[in-house]
C-alpha cells in the first residue's frame, strides 16, 4: 500500500517535472497558440484570456489573426478610449453587402475594449465580445481585474467609479448581458452595430480584401466623416452620421425604441421619421416642455437636443452608456438643426 | 394506494414543466447583482422568487427569457426601491414572451415602472408602482407599460403618481386591464393605438383623466379600436394636469372621466361616473394637425351605453366655461362629443355637442348645442375583445 502510494507520488512528481520542462522549452510557442475557436462556438468562457485573442492582453496587442479597426464616427461612451478588433476563423472571409454590415462568417468574434486614463496610464475597464455562433450572435461583457492581467465575465454587469477624459467623475456602468441586447437587438436577434461599410475607411477595407478577409470592396463604403475631421466635413453628413451611430441602434424599426416612431438611421429620408415636426410619444418629462423632436432652425426648442444635453436619468439620451453629455456631438447636431430651413 | 400515488405523481409531473427551477433572491447588499443574474440565467419555465423586504437598486433590471415567472411576497411585502436609480429608462424591462410578474412593488423608478416591449402573452398581477411623493412632473411617465405586444393581462395592479399614464397599453392587441386601481396619475388608464382591449372593474380616481382610449398618428402601429370600457368606477378625477408639456396627455383637461380620441368601435357601458368636473364622458377627434396619410383622426362607431352619472361637468376646464355653464343651466350634461365621426348613445343619455365640422382646426367653429346622437343599432360586437383565456388561467397558480 505504502509502496503504491510512493509510486503514485513519484509518478506525479515526474509528470510535474516534465510539465515544467515543457513549459520552459515551449513557452514562446504557447504564446502564439491559435485563437480558441471552441470558446467562440460554445459556452460562456469565464475569462477573456480563454479566447486567446491577445498576444499581450494588458497592452492590448492582438495575435496575428485578430485585426484592429476603427470606425470613422464612433459611439460616444463618455469619451472612453475604445480598441476594436475583429477575428475571422482561418480560411473564412466577410462578404461585402453594400454600405451596411458585411456578412460575417460563423466563428467571427468582434472585440471591443473600453479604457480610461488613470494616473497618467491607460486603465482597461471592460472588454465586450460579440461571438457569431451557429444559432446567432452572443454578446458578453468582461470586466478587467485590478492587476490588468485578465478580464472576468460580468454577466450581471457592474458599476465602478472613474474619471472621464474631460475630468468628470462618473459612476461607470458595465452593461449586463440583457443590456447588450438593448442596443444590439434587432427583430429579436442580436446583431453587430459598428462595422458597417459606410463607417469604415477604404484603406482598412482594402487591406482586408488583400488579406482575403473580405471578398470584395463594398459599394458605398467610407461615407461617414472621420469624427476628428468633422469641422471640415459636410455638416449634414457629420450630424446624420453621429445620429446614426449614437441613436439609430434603438431608434429604428425593429429595435428597442421602435415604438417611438423616430428613425434616425443614415438612410432614412422622411423628415417626419427623422423627428422634424414630429410630436413625442412616450417621452414623459424627457420632452422638457417642447412640442417636437426637431424644430428646424431652433435647437433650443427641440426635444432631440434637450435630451442629448441632459445627464439626468429619465431625461438623458442615450439611455445606456452615457453618464456625461457629449458636448462635441451635441454641438454638431445643434448646428445642423440651426441651419435647417424652417 | 398505489394508484392514488401514481396519479398524484402524474399530476405533479404535468403541472411542473420539465426541469423548471426556482431561484430565490433576498434583499441585501448584493441584491442588484443577484437579482439580475437570476433574471439572465433563468431558463424557460423557471420561477424567480423575491423574498419579502426592500431591495435598494441602483440600476434598472431586465428579463429576456421566455416563460419566466417573477414572484414577490405581495405588493406591500416585496419592494424594489429605485429611488437611487442611476440609469436606464425604466425600473424593469421585459423583452421575452409568456412572462408573469406578480406580487411585488416598484417605488420611484426614474423613468417608467415596468415596461414590456414585444413581450407577447404577458401577465401583470398584483403589481404596485408608486411614486411616493405623489403627483409631480418629474415622476416617470408610465407605471405599467406593455407595448408592441399581443396578449396582455393586467390584473389587480395599483399605480400612483405617473406623470403620464398609470397603466398604459400601447400598440398592442388582445388586452384586458381589470380589477386595478389607478390613482393620482395624469391619465389613470390609457389604451393607445391598440385593438381588442377590455377595460373593466377598475377604479380610476384622483387622476387628471380617468380612462383614455387614444389613437395617434405617426406611430408604427395605428388603427386603434374594438375597445370595451365597462363596469369601472371613475370618480373624482380632479387632479390638475401635471404632465410635462409636449406630451399628448398634457392636453387632457382636469376632470375628464372616460375619454375617447379617434378610434373605431368603442363601447362605454355600465360605468359609475362621479366627480369628473370637466366631462364624465368625452368623445372627440384627434385635435392636432397631422400629415400621416394612414391615419383616421375621427372617432367611429363609438357607443355610449347605460352608465350611472352622478352629475356632469360642473366645473369644466374649457374655453368659455362660464358661458357654457350658463347656457346649460349651471352644469354641462355628462357626455361631451365634438360632433365629428360617429357616436351612438342609448336613449336618455344627457349630453352636449360642440358641433364641429372639421378635425384638427381647434374650437373656433364650435356651435355648442344639445347632444343629437343616434341610438345604437343592434348589439355591440364583443368578439375577440380581451386577453387570451390562457392568460386569465395563469392567475390561478
CA dist A254 and B4 (Å) reads 52
Residue A5 has pLDDT above 80, yes or no: no
| Contact residues, chain B, for A319 at CB < 8 Å | 87-89, 111
Q: Taking CB atoms and an 8 Å limit, are B148 and A258 in contact across chains? A: yes
Residues in chain A: 342
Mean per-residue pLDDT for A71-90? Answer: 97
Residue A320 has pLDDT above 90, yes or no: no
Q: Taking CB atoms and an 8 Å limit, are B86 and A272 in contact across chains? A: no
Above pLDDT 90, what percent of chain A?
81
Contacts of B219 (CB under 8 A, 6+ apart): A259, A261, A281, B171, B193
Selected residues 46-65 of chain B with any CB under 8 Å from a CB in chain A: 58-59, 62-64
Q: Taking CB atoms and an 8 Å limit, are B140 and A178 in contact across chains? A: no
Q: If interface means Cβ-Cβ distance under 8 Å, which residues of chain A face chain B?
A: 155-159, 171, 173, 176-179, 181-182, 185, 188, 253, 256, 258-259, 261, 272, 277-291, 303, 313-314, 319-320, 323
pLDDT for the residue B18: 56
Give the DSSP letter of residue A226: P
Choose among A268, A212, A247: nearest CA to A75: A247
Q: Give Cα A111 distance to the centre of its chain.
A: 8
Q: Taking CB atoms and an 8 Å limit, are A284 and B40 in contact across chains? A: no
Q: Is B110 on the interface with A (CB under 8 A)?
A: yes
- H/E stretch holding B86: none
Same domain, A174 and A316: no
Residue A2 has pLDDT above 50, yes or no: no
| Contact residues, chain A, for B86 at CB < 8 Å | 159, 171, 173, 313
Bridge partners, residue B304, by sequence: B268, B345
| Contact residues, chain A, for B297 at CB < 8 Å | none
Rounded to the nearest angstrom, the minimum Cα separation between A2 and chain B is 46
Name the closest residue on chain B to residue A256, using Cα atoms: B117
pLDDT for the residue B397: 58
Residue B322 has pLDDT above 80, yes or no: yes
Q: Taking CB atoms and an 8 Å limit, are B140 and A284 in contact across chains? A: yes
A241: which 3 cell numbers? Answer: 452620421
Same domain, A91 and A185: yes
Pick from B25, B129, B244 the residue to mutate for testing the A interface (most A CBs within 10 Å): B244
Residue B9 has pLDDT above 90, yes or no: no
Name the closest residue on chain A to residue B113, using Cα atoms: A314
Phi, psi of B15 (to 5 degrees): -70, -35
Choose among B232, B214, B234, B233: nearest CA to B224: B214
| Contact residues, chain B, for A280 at CB < 8 Å | 246-247
* Minimal Cβ distance to A287: which of B89, B142, B246: B246
Q: How many beta carbons lie within 10 A of that of residue A165, not counting itself?
A: 12
| Contact residues, chain B, for A300 at CB < 8 Å | none
A18-27, A32-41, B349-358, B377-386: segment of lowest average pLDDT: A18-27
Same domain, A96 and A59: yes
Q: Taking CB atoms and an 8 Å limit, are A178 and B39 in contact across chains? A: yes
Q: Taking CB atoms and an 8 Å limit, are A284 and B37 in contact across chains? A: no
* Minimal Cβ distance to B246: which of A303, A313, A319: A303
Above pLDDT 70, what percent of chain A?
91
A118: which 3 cell numbers? Answer: 488613470
Phi, psi of B184 (to 5 degrees): 60, 40
Same domain, A236 and A329: yes
pLDDT bucket at B106, cuts 50 / 70 / 90: very high
* Cβ density class A290-325: b for 16+ within 10 Å, e for less: bbbbbbbebbebbbbbbbbbbeebbbbbbbbbbbbb
Choose among B120, B119, B125: nearest CA to B151: B120
Residue B238 has pLDDT above 60, yes or no: yes
Q: Taking CB atoms and an 8 Å limit, are B62 and A284 in contact across chains? A: no
Mean per-residue pLDDT for B285-295? Answer: 89
Same domain, A194 and A264: no
pLDDT for the residue A219: 94
Q: Taking CB atoms and an 8 Å limit, are B111 and A314 in contact across chains? A: yes
First to last CA, chain A: 95
pLDDT for the residue B91: 96
For the question of an ipTM over 0.90, the answer is no
Rounded to the nearest angstrom, the minimum Cα separation between A151 and chain B is 18
Q: Taking CB atoms and an 8 Å limit, are A319 and B89 in contact across chains? A: yes
- Do A93 and A213 touch, CB atoms closer than 8 A? yes
Residue A7 has pLDDT above 90, yes or no: no
Same domain, A95 and A43: yes
pLDDT bucket at B289, cuts 50 / 70 / 90: confident
- Do B72 and B50 touch, CB atoms closer than 8 A? yes
Same domain, A327 and A262: yes
Give the DSSP letter of residue A115: E
pLDDT bucket at B342, cuts 50 / 70 / 90: very high
Q: Taking CB atoms and an 8 Å limit, are B36 and A279 in contact across chains? A: no
pLDDT for the residue A31: 53
- H/E stretch holding A280: none
Q: Taking CB atoms and an 8 Å limit, are A159 and B219 in contact across chains? A: no
Contacts of B205 (CB under 8 A, 6+ apart): B181, B182, B183, B188, B233, B234, B235, B236, B237
| Contact residues, chain B, for A159 at CB < 8 Å | 58-59, 86
How many residue pairs from chains A and B have C-beta atoms closer than 8 A? Answer: 129
CA dist B390 and B3 (Å) reads 30
Residue A211 has pLDDT above 90, yes or no: yes
The answer to whether residue A30 sits within a structural domain is: no
The answer to whether residue A169 sits within a structural domain is: yes
The answer to whether residue A221 sits within a structural domain is: no
Q: Taking CB atoms and an 8 Å limit, are A313 and B111 in contact across chains? A: yes
pLDDT bucket at A52, cuts 50 / 70 / 90: very high
pLDDT bucket at A9, cuts 50 / 70 / 90: very low
Same domain, A255 and A280: yes
Mean per-residue pLDDT for B198-206? Answer: 98
pLDDT digits (tens, 9 = 90+) for A323-339: 999 999 999 999 999 99
* Minimal Cβ distance to B148: which of A173, A259, A284: A259
* Minimal Cβ distance to A176: which of B36, B164, B244: B36
Mean per-residue pLDDT for B166-176? Answer: 98
- Do A40 and A51 touch, CB atoms closer than 8 A? yes
Q: Taking CB atoms and an 8 Å limit, are A287 and B33 in contact across chains? A: no
B102-116, B240-254, B270-284, B296-310: segment of lowest average pLDDT: B240-254
- Domain residue ranges in chain B: 111-394
**Domain total of chain A:** 2
Residue A315 has pLDDT above 80, yes or no: yes
Q: Taking CB atoms and an 8 Å limit, are B246 and A179 in contact across chains? A: no
The answer to whether residue A332 sits within a structural domain is: yes
pLDDT for the residue B367: 92
Mean per-residue pLDDT for B331-347? Answer: 97
Q: Taking CB atoms and an 8 Å limit, are B218 and A177 in contact across chains? A: no
Same domain, A295 and A231: yes
B261: which 3 cell numbers? Answer: 380620441
Give the DSSP letter of residue A302: B
Which has more pLDDT, A274 or A17? A274
CA dist B65 and B41 (Å) reads 9
Mean per-residue pLDDT for A139-144? Answer: 96
pLDDT for the residue A20: 41
Q: How many beta carbons lie within 10 A of that of residue B388, not counting itself?
A: 16
Residue A178 has pLDDT above 80, yes or no: yes
> What is the domain extent for residue A104?
37-210
Residue B263 has pLDDT above 90, yes or no: yes
pLDDT for the residue B389: 96
Residue A24 has pLDDT above 80, yes or no: no
Q: Is B138 on the interface with A (CB under 8 A)?
A: yes
B14-28, B98-112, B378-392: segment of lowest average pLDDT: B14-28
Same domain, A195 and A308: no
- Do B131 and B139 touch, CB atoms closer than 8 A? yes
Same domain, A47 and A189: yes
Name the closest residue on chain A to residue B34, using Cα atoms: A156
Mean per-residue pLDDT for B117-134? Answer: 97
Q: Using DSSP, how many helices (H) and how many strands (E) does chain B show?
A: 4, 32
Residue B111 has pLDDT above 70, yes or no: yes
Q: Taking CB atoms and an 8 Å limit, are A259 and B141 in contact across chains? A: no
Q: Taking CB atoms and an 8 Å limit, are A283 and B246 in contact across chains? A: yes
Residue A26 has pLDDT above 80, yes or no: no
| Contact residues, chain A, for B141 at CB < 8 Å | 282-286
Rounded to the nearest angstrom, the minimum Cα separation between B389 and chain A is 26
CA dist A235 and A278 (Å) reads 22
Amino acid at each position: 500500500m505504502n509502496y503504491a502510494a510512493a509510486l503514485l507520488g513519484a509518478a506525479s512528481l515526474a509528470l510535474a517535472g516534465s510539465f515544467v520542462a515543457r513549459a520552459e522549452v515551449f513557452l514562446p510557442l504557447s504564446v502564439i497558440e491559435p485563437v480558441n475557436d471552441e470558446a467562440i462556438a460554445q459556452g460562456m468562457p469565464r475569462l477573456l484570456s480563454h479566447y486567446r485573442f491577445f498576444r499581450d492582453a494588458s497592452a492590448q496587442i492582438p495575435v496575428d489573426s485578430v485585426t484592429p479597426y476603427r470606425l470613422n464616427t464612433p459611439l460616444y461612451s463618455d469619451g472612453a478610449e475604445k480598441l476594436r478588433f475583429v477575428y475571422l476563423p482561418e480560411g473564412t472571409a466577410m462578404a461585402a453587402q453594400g454600405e451596411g454590415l458585411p456578412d460575417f462568417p460563423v466563428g467571427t468574434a468582434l472585440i471591443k475594449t473600453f479604457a480610461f486614463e488613470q494616473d497618467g496610464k491607460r486603465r482597461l475597464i471592460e472588454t465586450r465580445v460579440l461571438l457569431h455562433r451557429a444559432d446567432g450572435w452572443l454578446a458578453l461583457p468582461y470586466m478587467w481585474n485590478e492587476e490588468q492581467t485578465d478580464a472576468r465575465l460580468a454577466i450581471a454587469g457592474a458599476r465602478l467609479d472613474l474619471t472621464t477624459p474631460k475630468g468628470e467623475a462618473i459612476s461607470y456602468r458595465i452593461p449586463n448581458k440583457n443590456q447588450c441586447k438593448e442596443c444590439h437587438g434587432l427583430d429579436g436577434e442580436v446583431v453587430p452595430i459598428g462595422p458597417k461599410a459606410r463607417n469604415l475607411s477604404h484603406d482598412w477595407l482594402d487591406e482586408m480584401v488583400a488579406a482575403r478577409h473580405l471578398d470584395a470592396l463594398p459599394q458605398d463604403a467610407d461615407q461617414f466623416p472621420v469624427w476628428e475631421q468633422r469641422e471640415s466635413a459636410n455638416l449634414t453628413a457629420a450630424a446624420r452620421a453621429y445620429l446614426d451611430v449614437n441613436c439609430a441602434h434603438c431608434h429604428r424599426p425593429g429595435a428597442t425604441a421602435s415604438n417611438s416612431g423616430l428613425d434616425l438611421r443614415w438612410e432614412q429620408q422622411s423628415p417626419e421619421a427623422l423627428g422634424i415636426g414630429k410630436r413625442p410619444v412616450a417621452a414623459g418629462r424627457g420632452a422638457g416642455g417642447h412640442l417636437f423632436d426637431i424644430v428646424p432652425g431652433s435647437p433650443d426648442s427641440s426635444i432631440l437636443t434637450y435630451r442629448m444635453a441632459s445627464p439626468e436619468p429619465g431625461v438623458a439620451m442615450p439611455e445606456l452608456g452615457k453618464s456625461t453629455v457629449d458636448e462635441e456631438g451635441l454641438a454638431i447636431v445643434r448646428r445642423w438643426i440651426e441651419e435647417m430651413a424652417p | 394506494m398505489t394508484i392514488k400515488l401514481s396519479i398524484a405523481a402524474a399530476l405533479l409531473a404535468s403541472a411542473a414543466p420539465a426541469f423548471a427551477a426556482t431561484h430565490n433572491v433576498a434583499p441585501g447588499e448584493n441584491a442588484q447583482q443577484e437579482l439580475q443574474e437570476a433574471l439572465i440565467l433563468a431558463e424557460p419555465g423557471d420561477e424567480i422568487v423575491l423574498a419579502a423586504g426592500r431591495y435598494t437598486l441602483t440600476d434598472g433590471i431586465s428579463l429576456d427569457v421566455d416563460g419566466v415567472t417573477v414572484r414577490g411576497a405581495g405588493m406591500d411585502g416585496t419592494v424594489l426601491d429605485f429611488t437611487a436609480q442611476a440609469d436606464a429608462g425604466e425600473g424593469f424591462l421585459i423583452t421575452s414572451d409568456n412572462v408573469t410578474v406578480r406580487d411585488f412593488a416598484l417605488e420611484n423608478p426614474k423613468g417608467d415602472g415596468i415596461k414590456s416591449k414585444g413581450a407577447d402573452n404577458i401577465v401583470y398581477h398584483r403589481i404596485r408602482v408608486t411614486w411616493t411623493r405623489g403627483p409631480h412632473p418629474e415622476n416617470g411617465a408610465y407605471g405599467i407599460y406593455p407595448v408592441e405586444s399581443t396578449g396582455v393581462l393586467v390584473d389587480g395592479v395599483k399605480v400612483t403618481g405617473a406623470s403620464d399614464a398609470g397603466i398604459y397599453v400601447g400598440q398592442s392587441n388582445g388586452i384586458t386591464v381589470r380589477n386595478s386601481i389607478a390613482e393620482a396619475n395624469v391619465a389613470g388608464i390609457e389604451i393607445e393605438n391598440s385593438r381588442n382591449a377590455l377595460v373593466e372593474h377598475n377604479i380610476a380616481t384622483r387622476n387628471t383623466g380617468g380612462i383614455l382610449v387614444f389613437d395617434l398618428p405617426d406611430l408604427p402601429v395605428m388603427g386603434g379600436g374594438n375597445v370595451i370600457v365597462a363596469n369601472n368606477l371613475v370618480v373624482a378625477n380632479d387632479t390638475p394636469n401635471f404632465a410635462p408639456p409636449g406630451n399628448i396627455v398634457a392636453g387632457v383637461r382636469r376632470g375628464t372621466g372616460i375619454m375617447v380620441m379617434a378610434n373605431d368601435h368603442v363601447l362605454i357601458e355600465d360605468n359609475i361616473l362621479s366627480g369628473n368636473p370637466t366631462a364624465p364622458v368625452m368623445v372627440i377627434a384627434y385635435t392636432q394637425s397631422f400629415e400621416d396619410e394612414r391615419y383616421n383622426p375621427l372617432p367611429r362607431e363609438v357607443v355610449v351605453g347605460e352608465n350611472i352619472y352622478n352629475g356632469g361637468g360642473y366645473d369644466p376646464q374649457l374655453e368659455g366655461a362660464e358661458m357654457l355653464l350658463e347656457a346649460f343651466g349651471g352644469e354641462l350634461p355628462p357626455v361631451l362629443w365634438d360632433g365629428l365621426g360617429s357616436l351612438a348613445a342609448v336613449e336618455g343619455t344627457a349630453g352636449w355637442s360642440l358641433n364641429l365640422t372639421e378635425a384638427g382646426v381647434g374650437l373656433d367653429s364650435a356651435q355648442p348645442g344639445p347632444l343629437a346622437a343616434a341610438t345604437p343599432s343592434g348589439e355591440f360586437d364583443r368578439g375577440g375583445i380581451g386577453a387570451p383565456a390562457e392568460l386569465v388561467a395563469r392567475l390561478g397558480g
